Amino acid sequence: MWVEILCGLIVYKLFRSFFGSGDDVLDVETSDTNAVFIVANRLEKLYGGKVYVGLRIPDPDTGLRQSIDVVLVTKGEAAVISVKNLSGLVSMNGDGSWVCEGGSGHKAEHLPNPVEEVKKQASILESYLEQRGIALPEGYFSYKVILPNPKFRTIHASYFPSEVITYDQWTILKPESKSFSLSWIKGAVYGGKKENQESLTQKLNFILNSAPMWDRLELKGSKYVLGEFLEFKGKTEDTMALKHVKRSKVSQLVVQKTSMFGLAPSRLQVLSCARDFRSEGATSSEWKEETVRSSTEVVFQPQNSPKVRKFKLSSVISMSLSA
């Protein structure tokens, strides 16, 4: 019997080494980050413009960086979005704080006033942009809290402030809807010529495109992790081949398979894009290619997690690095 168990373990380890178990993906709770990207993508499709995910804006009051889930910029208007992926029965206290009960953790979750939090984020972002040379009209950024989880429940939805978009409201969000048109972002466009508004939008996009952000991992299974890239782990020749992947030199990394006929690859192609602050895209000549073992790992510090994680490079689709 022990021989059979030992043989089974060997076969299991061989299967994992060739086909991957996905444990390094499942170890990280990505649902909250995925919800942020789902919201960002839908807003961009509904309203056009451009979205920025995972900004880290310096807070002059605390000296720390303030994380912002989503910033939506359209012509003449912009909004700061906080995404709360709450599952369970949510109620609001008299001081504006929230309580979520009956979620996956089966423990009541207490949240400081989410509307006040996102309002502060908008204020910090406006101050940052002014420091970068953009003169914004007062209150240019509006702010919203979006609750996209289908398991969100509440008894008195009308008790929530107008800045809160509940799940039911989120599902019917349409550009032409009176209550959810761009007026929910800021109402009427600020006065001035169209050329001035377009110029402001262009400047805003340029600054936000170069603003501090979390690094981003896109994993197989449509999963995302925001955090900080630390290093690569693996055979010396593989880590040496990738030692040029530094945030000062590289903006994006793409992983491609080299195997054929669906077989598990033993080596992977890693394409890295040289950082260029002058443009948002990259030409084919700016990509550098390396081939490394699939066992090479990405060492990553996820946002809001005390634990450093390792991801097999074979489970990674792409990685974006903040400047």
Considering the entire predicted model, what is its pTM?
0.81
- pLDDT number for residue 114: 96
Which two tokens mark 302? Answer: 């996820």
- 137, amino acid identity: P
Residues 6+ apart with CB under 8 A from 10: none
Q: What is the pLDDT of residue 157?
A: 87
SS3 per-residue string spanning the chain? CHHHHHHHHHHHHHHHHHHCCCHHHHCCCCHHHHHHHHHHHHHHHHHCCEEEEEEEEECCCCCCEEEEEEEEEECCEEEEEEECCCCEEEEECCCCCEEEECCCCCCCEEECCHHHHHHHHHHHHHHHHHHCCCCCCCCCEEEEEECCCCCEECCCHHHCCCCEECHHHHHCCCCCCCCCCHHHCCCCCCCCCHHHHHHHHHHHHHHHHCCCECEEEEECCCEEEEEEEEEEECCHHHHHHCCCCCCCCEEEEEEEECCCCCCCCCEEEEEEEECCCCCCCCCHHHEEEEEEECCCEEEEEECCCCCCEEEEHHHEEEEECCC
Q: Find how far residue 95's CA is from the centre of its chain.
A: 29
Q: Note the pLDDT of residue 11.
A: 42
pLDDT one digit per residue (tens) for the chain, 323 residues: 444 544 444 444 444 444 444 443 333 345 899 999 999 999 999 988 999 999 999 998 888 999 999 999 988 789 999 999 999 999 999 999 999 998 666 688 899 999 999 999 999 999 999 999 998 887 788 999 999 999 999 988 888 999 999 999 999 988 765 434 444 444 444 445 566 777 888 899 999 998 999 999 999 988 999 999 999 999 999 999 999 999 889 999 999 986 555 555 689 999 999 887 665 544 445 789 999 999 999 999 999 888 999 999 999 999 999 97
Q: Residue 119 and residue 128: Cα distance in Å, rounded? A: 14
Half-sphere exposure of 252 (CA within 13 A, CB side): 14
pLDDT at 41: 95
Cα–chain center distance at 29: 13
